[in-house]
Amino acid sequence: MLHGKVAFLEEELSKSRQDATNYHQLSDRVAKELKDLKDHDQQMRSKQMKVLSDLLIAVSKAERQEARMRIRQESFRLGNVGVMRAGTIISEIWEDGQAIKDLNSHLKSLLETKETIERHRKSLKKRQSDKGDGSDAETSMSEEDIVLQDEICKSRLTSIKREEEQYMRERDRYELEKGRLIREMKRLRDEDGSRFNNFQILHHRYALLNLLGKGGFSEVYKAFDLVEYKYVACKLHGLNAQWSEEKKQSYIRHAIREYNIHKTLVHPNIVRLWDIFEIDHNTFCTVLEYCSGKDLDAVLKATPILPEKEARIIIVQIFQGLVYLNKRGQKIIHYDLKPGNVLFDEVGVAKVTDFGLSKIVEDDVGSQGMELTSQGAGTYWYLPPECFDLSKTPFISSKVDVWSAGVMFYQMLYGRRPFGHDQTQERILREDTIINARRVEFPSKPAVSNEAKDLIRRCLTYNQSERPDVLTITQDHYLSYAKK
């Protein structure tokens, strides 16, 4: 009987072992099939990414070719950059194109005609005078003929003035087009000189396309995220190879600090920051939300004065972004608000970007604000007086951003900055322009509502203690579209 039980158990054990073997084989087969599926999926995904990136590159190459062809055409019409040599000094000069030459020729011709007519009028007046004293008895022109000739001259001068005004408007338009052409020439030159201009794929997902712009230590490329299937902006930060290791580490710490601030910000009026990674020892990349519209600086270069309705919509959105920064657990002072740091997406939504100089306001900071430890940084036309006080370490708050927003709003409405518009940053500092900016003046034209002027006055209040902060100024009814 015991022998039978042992035999039974051995048989059951054998079956269990066989089942285990079968299960292992099945598991191995399933694992292999799963791996094959994953490999196939990866291959398909790689193929899809390759096809997509090839298509994007083809489109971008066509765009580059079209941009350069357009530059050649516009250069003939508007002008080009030439080279002038004076001894050993070589400098670039602007050479006008055919359209501007023709326009200047027309203006010169009108001026010559006007001078001829003015001389003729003088001779008519002399004849009239001579006729009065009897010294021009031999002239065949009657008084009526002289008056008629003078009226003809005045009519022609009025006509010339209209033509001049038309040509001057046309020249202003050419100047705007020339400005755009010069900026595009610079962009293409920077793109040609960039080491990232050969359509690289970074971090196995970001396909670099065409250069958007170049700053001091960075280049910004339009790119496509091959994983999330969306356009992004890749900001490539290059460290100068000649820098000391200490300076490189300082720059990297600064960039990582900006990333740590920026990555947590999620608001419709603030550009999103998606990713950051190293490319090589001297280069790293931050990946930002792509905004297909212009920045506010480019908008104001093309249209220096915006209608108040349009300017109001923009400033309201900027303040909405600032309110978000000031309602967080850790409040943030942007500190570098200016037109170049306001971008527009495809539908015209304004978005604040570039948090490179931003300050985190710690919880224990009192009502006087936090110490400004980076005096001298920033864009001087848009900074308030307290940032220029060298006699002591200034204390700052969100009131810095309120001042900057007020300057931008003024600039949108009047086509110029309220203080130091025609001055360089060096001159602003040397002449204490902002420190002396105690009162804002408003031109008589264009017409701007009193509500807009009152808002600007509040934003540009000289004394920091009297200037409203972000959360206070945004209670102004002018900054709200809510129905009353």
pLDDT in tens, 181-237: 999 999 999 999 999 999 999 999 999 999 999 987 789 999 999 999 999 999 998
DSSP string, 322-367: HHHHHHSSSEEE-----GGGEEE-TT--EEE---TT-EEE-TT--T
What sign results for the dihedral spanned by CA atoms 262, 268, 271, 276? positive
Check if the beta carbon of residue 371 is closer than 8 Å to that of residue 333. no
Band of pLDDT at residue 366, cut at 50, 70 and 90: very low
Q: Could you tell me which CATH number the domain at 201-289 has?
A: 3.30.200.20
**Per-domain residue ranges for the chain?**
94-192, 201-289, 296-479
- Asked if residue 310 lies in contact with residue 344, where contact means CB atoms within 8 angstroms, the answer is no
Structure tokens given for 169: 């408007």
Helix (H, G, I), strand (E, B) or coil at 45: helix
Instruction: Specify whether the CB–CB gap between 91 and 83 falls below 8 A.
Output: yes
CB 327 within 8 A of CB 471: yes
Could you report the per-residue pLDDT of 235-253, keeping only the tens digit for each?
998 887 788 888 888 878 7
* Domain 296-479 in CATH 1.10.510.10: yes
pLDDT exceeds 70 at position 63: yes
pLDDT recorded at residue 251: 78
Q: Binning pLDDT at 50, 70 and 90, where does residue 364 land?
A: very low
Q: Are strands 331-333 and 230-238 parallel, antiparallel or unpaired?
A: unpaired
CA 410, 411, 412, 415 torsion-angle sign: positive
CB within 8 Å of 456: residues ≥ 6 apart: 406, 409, 410, 413, 418, 440, 442
Q: Are 287 and 276 spatial neighbours (Cβ–Cβ below 8 Å)?
A: yes
Which of these ranges, 134-143, 158-167, 271-280, 471-480, has the smallest mean pLDDT? 134-143
What mean pLDDT comes out for the span 83-102?
Answer: 84
The burial class, CB within 10 Å (0-12 / 13-18 / 19+), for 197 is middle
Residue 354 a catalytic site member: no
Is residue 77 a contact partner of residue 70, using CB atoms and an 8 Å limit? Answer: no
pLDDT on residue 368: 47
Query: What is the spatial distance between Cα 89 and Cα 307, in angstroms, rounded to a whole number?
Result: 45
How confident is residue 305, by pLDDT bands cut at 50, 70 and 90? very high
**DSSP assignment, residue 205?**
T
Mean pLDDT of the chain: 86
Amino acid of residue 94 = W
From the list 253, 254, 252, the residue with the least C-alpha distance to 280 is 252
Q: Pairing relation of β-strands 359-361 and 331-333?
A: antiparallel
**CA-CA distance, 405 to 452, in Å (whole number)?**
13
Q: Is the peptide bond before 339 cis (omega within 30 degrees of 0)?
A: no
Q: Which residues contact 156 (CB under 8 A, 6 or more apart)?
A: 113, 117
Same fold, 201-289 and 296-479: no
Residue 377: count of CB within 10 angstroms of its CB: 13
Which has the closest alpha carbon to 273: 289, 260, 261, 252?
Answer: 289
Beta 395-396 vs 350-352: how paired, if at all?
unpaired
* Cβ count within 10 A of residue 451: 14
Catalytic residue from among 19, 145, 297, 336: 336
Q: Is 122 annotated as a binding residue?
A: no
Is residue 342 within 8 Å of residue 334, measured between CB atoms?
Answer: no
Residue 481's SS3 state is coil
CB under 8 Å to 15, separation ≥6 — which residues? none
